[in-house]
Structure 1
Amino acid sequence: MGRFKTSLFSVLENTGRHRAAARVLRSLLIALIVINVGLAVLGTEPLFQPFIGKVGDVIQVASGFVFLVEYLARLYVADLHPPLRRYGPLGSRLRYALQADAIIDLLAALPLVMVLFLPSSAVTVIVILRLLRFLKLARYSPALRSLLSAIGSERHALIGSTVIILGVVLMAATLMFLVEHPGQPEVFSSIPVALWWAIATVTTVGYGDVVPVSGAGKFVGGVVMLMGYGLIALPVGIVASAFSREIHSRDFVVTWSMVARVPLFEDLTAADIAEVAKLLRAQRVRAGDTIASRESEADAMYFISDGEVEIELPHETIYMGEGNYFGEMALLHRRTRTATIRAFHDCELLVLEADALTDLMGRKPELASRILAEADQRLSSALQAEGDLVKEELAQAETRRRDEPEEKELFDT
């Protein structure tokens, strides 16, 4: 049961042990979410109701069952999340259930319960809950999560810009009421009525159902139209800037954490690891292309940010996937490579060249002394396993024959 639970957690949270199964599950859930939202929208249109009919209801109920099973499964493995383990089986599940992702998962499963136990008059609530399943896409979209995080981080600035927009709308409605009310008392009968014109004009929609006719009114309307462009651009610029910063921050954190995992750097300070991370350069490699050849000089180490590589050792072939690294000792001890390394799938690599690290160490003697001390200790401890590869690197890898499928089992037994 323990191995089953660990495998289930790996598939649900895509931790890397069952990459193929996790990708399949993720694709199926995304497709199911899109189908559910589409059916919920089209089901309200009388033209499509005869075509959807009972088939749509069956799909909705089946989807609700899948989402309910998914929610219960995620709740079951919640105590395996590293930040939650210390709270115990019950405490970790309670804390997980209060997280935003878990609440959205629960809302996605609620329509099934409501269909079975509530009267047909609750159809409006059920439709709304089905549409809320769209929010589940945030779990599978790092960009969407970054956008939500950006909006949250800039909430004070967005609230401020909203207050400014509301102030301008109120002022425009007041001025237009004062100017146009004498000539159009039935159109601009009060300031609340004039607010409709102000909102439509500031947002540059301008329906044309309410327009000024006096010269002063047209002047006020023109000024409000021009201000509208700048006012609407204000929150857009805030969100765009925050989103860009969030993306760069997320990429840096991922890169920083990958560097920090390397034993050669694990004792460095956060600032030193950040300096090393800045030296990384991106490299894209197509499937089948050679990254490094046997007998060539090992002058760089590699981090796999996406994809999978194949390492041909003398007696076996091993595979490394996203988040792994290889060639650590090549940075300071340029040995001849004992393996040929190819891209098994299309890969996104981060490359740390020995020359770049040597230049950094030359500029920072204290950093150099710490790295060299760790390197000497690792060599003296006989950690070298396969030429330029060490035991820690090989421990990440997966060994399989070339003709084996990428994923042997969904769950180990």
Structure 2
Amino acid sequence: MQGQNVKRALFEVLEDTGRRKVAARTLRQFLVFLIIGNIALAVLETVPEVRQALNTHLSFIQLGCGVIFLVEYILRLYVADLHPPLRRYGPVWSRVRYAMHPDAIVDLIGALPLLFVLFLPNQAVTIVVILRLLRFLKLARYSPALRSLISAVAGERKALLGSTMIIFGVVLLAATVMYLIEHKHQPENFRSILHGMYWAITTVTTVGYGDVVPVSNLGKMIASVVMLMGYGLIALPVGIIASAFAREIHSRDFVVTWSMVSRVPLFEDLKATEIAEVAKLLQAQSVRKGATIAEKDAVADRMFFIFDGEVEIRLPHETVYLGVGSFFGELALINQTRRTATIIAYRDCQLLVLEADALRHLMDRDAGLAKKIMDEAKERALAGKKILGELAEEELQQAGVYASMDEAREEPELFSDDEQDETSGAGKDPSGKKPS
């Protein structure tokens, strides 16, 4: 049992799931620092003066980094059978399937230099240097933007392949024409179409080294046309990737905001299209660490979703900390009473704000949506005056505000209506306790 708990803890830290957010974030930052430092050292080792001065130290550092990456890979393989999609395959096949995943392959590449150094110290010098530099691929695990870019390229692979074929066709055509025109004037530079392709590639890519240039008037005219075409041809794949990347970012943000809204009890009975309409009303707001998000006694006319960062809600009897994915102030959209708690940014925050007026305008346009929301709000408000409602109480228990259902029943007036509102999303942070 103890071993299973340790394994679960390792999984939560390595994969950044569960309650161990601080440990997971610390490990992630350490590994990112280690990857960047390792790449820098691999580059510095190629400088003769640095290699001679720090040869022993660099070897120990590289050996230590290799051990860390190897241990990381083994531990990730060890907890692989805890991944929800892999559990049904059993302890062996789940690890086999995980080992074939691109992230696991990249982790293995990061660990391979140590194995080569230990078992093939003299025969694998070039391979080790290349593998050390390839460790930068591990950054994709910790960079959502890089993963989005990779996903965008993968999604547009057919379009990129098509644009590559067009570019290759233009290069081949330009090389053939230039060979036919310039061969008699420059037999050494244009001995064949293959030699002409070198000129065509440097011209189409607008590099233009100048070591091979046309000398005939007709050749110069053809070269001018090819150069102008080069700008458009290079812009073709760039435009494809840029539009796909923007679409990927927009899609990811929409999914995140949609899922945030769908978890709010006030909106949980809405259809997917209705939740999407509510999500469109969200407005972004950046708040610096220590800044006040909402004042006590201010009119509660909006609710907040935490897109990034952490907030602190100061209740009369408790201080609750909410992290990424949490929400607070849902009943404020309907009741608009005065707040009885001050909300402060515990860290720099990116918030999504839903104004009560914006939601009301949407409800005015859609009577069916308005009825659903109002019915749910009445039930939530009624339940809140009793025991805060089953869902809200569960959230408060997870946040540490209530210890049990019995305590909630024994102290029904512990919170006012506003306090119910401020803490209705507390359960979205598994711990709810002050972060370390």
TM (normalized to structure 1)?
Answer: 0.91
Q: CA deviation at 1:399?
A: 5.2
Q: Deviations over 1:176-231 (max 9, x none)?
A: 11101112122211111111111111111111111111111111111111111111
Pairing partner for 2:287 from 252, 276, 285: 285
Distance 2:285 2:147 in 1: 26
Distance 2:16 2:35 in 1: 18
Query: What amino acid maps onto 1:244 in structure 2?
Result: A
**Which residue is 1:139 aligned to?**
141
Structure 1: runs of 5+ lacking an equivalent: 408-413
Partner SS state of residue 84, structure 1: helix
Q: Is the 8 A contact 1:181 1:188 kept in 2?
A: yes
Q: Deviations over 1:292-350 (max 9, x none)?
A: 22233222111111111111111111111111111112122223322111111221111
**Which residue is 2:427 aligned to?**
395
Q: Is the 8 A contact 2:329 2:424 kept in 1?
A: no
Pairing partner for 1:20 from 8, 19, 22: 22
Partner SS state of residue 231, structure 2: helix
Query: What amino acid maps onto 1:127 in structure 2?
Result: V
Q: Is the 8 A contact 2:303 2:327 kept in 1?
A: yes
Relative distance call for 1:337 and 1:92 in structure 2 (3 A) is farther
Relative distance call for 1:70 and 1:237 in structure 2 (3 A) is same
**Which residue is 1:205 aligned to?**
207
Structure 2 counterparts to residues 321-400 of structure 1, below 5 A: 321-381=323-383, 382=386, 384=388, 386=415, 387-388=417-418, 389=420, 393-397=425-429, 398=431, 400=433
Relative distance call for 1:45 and 1:243 in structure 2 (3 A) is same
Pairing partner for 1:318 from 307, 317, 320: 320
Structure 2 counterparts to residues 50-89 of structure 1, below 5 A: 50-89=52-91
Distance 1:383 1:74 in 2: 43
Distance 2:268 2:35 in 1: 41
Q: Is the 8 A contact 2:307 2:324 kept in 1?
A: yes
Matched, 1:111 2:113: yes
Q: CA deviation at 1:19?
A: 3.0
Give the structure, 1 or 2, with the largest relative contact order (CA under 8 Å, sep 6 or more): 1
**Which residue is 1:188 aligned to?**
190
Q: Is the 8 A contact 2:39 2:133 kept in 1?
A: yes
Query: What amino acid maps onto 2:56 in structure 1?
Result: K
Matched-pair identity in %: 62
**Which residue is 2:104 aligned to?**
102
Distance 1:380 1:202 in 2: 71
Structure 2 counterparts to residues 187-266 of structure 1, below 5 A: 187-266=189-268
Distance 2:380 2:80 in 1: 37
**Which residue is 1:6 aligned to?**
8
Range 188-197 or range 371-380, more displaced: 371-380
Matched, 1:160 2:201: no
Distance 1:236 1:47 in 2: 40
Q: CA deviation at 1:168?
A: 0.5
Q: Deviations over 1:204-263 (max 9, x none)?
A: 111111111111111111111111111111111111111111111111111111111112
Query: What amino acid maps onto 2:350 in structure 1?
Result: E
Range 259-268 or range 11-20, more displaced: 11-20
Q: Is the 8 A contact 1:272 1:367 kept in 2?
A: yes
Matched, 1:38 2:70: no
Equivalenced residues, count: 403
Structure 2: runs of 5+ lacking an equivalent: 394-414
Q: Is the 8 A contact 2:327 2:424 kept in 1?
A: no
Distance 1:91 1:328 in 2: 44
Partner SS state of residue 301, structure 1: strand
Query: What amino acid maps onto 1:34 in structure 2?
Result: I
Relative distance call for 1:383 and 1:188 in structure 2 (3 A) is farther
